[in-house]
Amino acid sequence: MADRTAPCALAALCLLVLAAATGAEARRHPRLVPAVFVFGDSTVDVGNNNYLNITAAARANYPHYGVDLPGSAPTGRFSNGLNTADLLALGLGFRRSPPAYLSLTEKAIRSQMYKGINFASGGSGLADSTGRFMFGEVIPMSRQLEYFSGVVEHMTKLSGRKKTASLLCKSIFLISVGSNDMFEYSASPGDDYEFLGGLVDAYRSYITALYKMGARKFSVISIPPLGCLPSQRLRRLKQLGTQGCFDPLNDLSLRSYPMLAAMLHDLSRELPGMAYSLADAFAMVSFVFENPRTDAWSFTELEAACCGGGPYGAAQPCDETAPLCADRDGHLFWDANHPTQAVSVVAAQTIFAGNRSFVKPVNVRELALL
């Protein structure tokens, strides 16, 4: 899951995480890009869902979430600490991660928009309907782009078209989405090829829309092996009476990557100046399953959630009443559906500085320097 040739990069990123978690001073490199804008679901949400009328399952603003953040305070991140969006922002030289859009006043938006904003929403997806039935009010990708469009209008009014275009074309646009669409489809499957084609077409339309608004550099995280999440292991146990990953969902996840890769390659040839970095999350997670202990990390629990109860820690939700593991850095999964901060550190380092085994055609550091 990580570039084994770059242990110094991982060590540096770990120091950044430590500094963020403890408030300690750390020497930081200059920012590589002017701003980072984040779109997607709970894997990169930093608190937007705190401001929505949704069920508790789509929120992370209560203990034990955030147990390893300063003061053990829940922030709306679906993690014991920082998530991948946070860590990539730190790696790019920012003092802190772009804040949640819904947490900002109009005045705060005007100052923050030049450094980046996070529009991601837990439970959301590429389709407008994704997450609504199960969770209530979530922010689908279409609305996330509407919010961003408003930000671009503010920026243009204040700074003019030329300066706005200059900032946006140099900024990183991080996108991590599609898993919730896949979860909902797998509950009532139909034509897999048609579903995956529609998923990739929707991705294409949103990236094209961002491009038209000024985006040029895209960091895209593909869908991981969802069938190996604790929630899906429990699903297999209930449905089949056997242990292991839920294979139909893993098959969908695996098949989605080459389609997404082909779409991005074709789009980059069609749109002048577009560049991208695609992280193969399926390959990254699979590598950790096959190599749980290396010089860079040591994971001792690959199946059960750290926070939760029952089989795989997935039968009871992660809340203040749930059992909590002591060795969070040794667990791959934090709750039934999300990684621990320790995994996010490895993922962020790989996305930021990894080799072509896991991120193509360039990593995010190289993308930033283009």
The residues that are catalytic are 42, 335, 338
**CB environment 91-113: b (16+ within 10 A), e (fewer):** bbebeebbbbbbbbeeeebeebb
Residues whose CB falls within 8 Å of the CB of residue 2, separated by 6 or more in sequence, listed in order: 10, 294, 296, 297, 346, 349, 350, 354, 358
CA distance 138 to 40: 11
Query: Sign of the CA dihedral 248, 280, 76, 180?
Result: negative
Length of the chain: 370
- Please say whether the beta carbons of 98 and 110 come within 8 A: no
What stretch of H or E contains 22?
A: helix 7-22
- Please say whether the beta carbons of 295 and 2 come within 8 A: no
CA distance 307 to 305: 5
Which residues, listed in sequence order, are joined to residue 220 by a DSSP beta bridge?
A: 175, 278
Residues whose CB falls within 8 Å of the CB of residue 152, separated by 6 or more in sequence, listed in order: 164, 168, 213, 214
The number of angstroms, rounded, from the C-alpha of 233 to the middle of its chain's C-alpha atoms is 21
- Please say whether the beta carbons of 15 and 24 come within 8 A: no
β-strand 275-279 against 331-333: which pairing, if any? unpaired
